[in-house]
Amino acid sequence: MGRLIPLGDLWDVLVDGTGAAFTDRLKRESEAAVKFYAKARTHLLGKYGSDTHTDFLADHRSSGRCCWARSLPTCPRCAG
């Protein structure tokens, strides 16, 4: 509590299966994002060799931010 959490780190919460899409459209979009995220993670692990490598952590966080950025504009709960 009281700590800021980078948005990219929150993507892990969604992809671990505890989150649910609000609509069928969001479900399809989140499934595509989860596939992208898995491919990106595999690529980064191959590139850096470890999930504790500083550059892996930075790039992994960025890939999570990209997934959020792609899905947030279409989320009815996030629309202004």
pLDDT per position as a tens digit, 27-39: 777 788 888 888 9
Q: Would you mind telling me the total number of residues written for the chain in this entry?
A: 80
Amino acid 78: pLDDT: 54
Amino acid 50: pLDDT: 94
Amino acid 21: pLDDT: 61
Averaged pLDDT score across all residues of the chain: 77
Q: Which letter, b or e, does each residue of 33-57 get, where b requires 16 or more Cβ atoms within 10 Å of its Cβ?
A: beeebeebbeebeeebeeeeeeebb
Predicted TM-score (pTM) of the model is 0.64
Per-residue pLDDT, averaged over 61-74, amounts to: 74
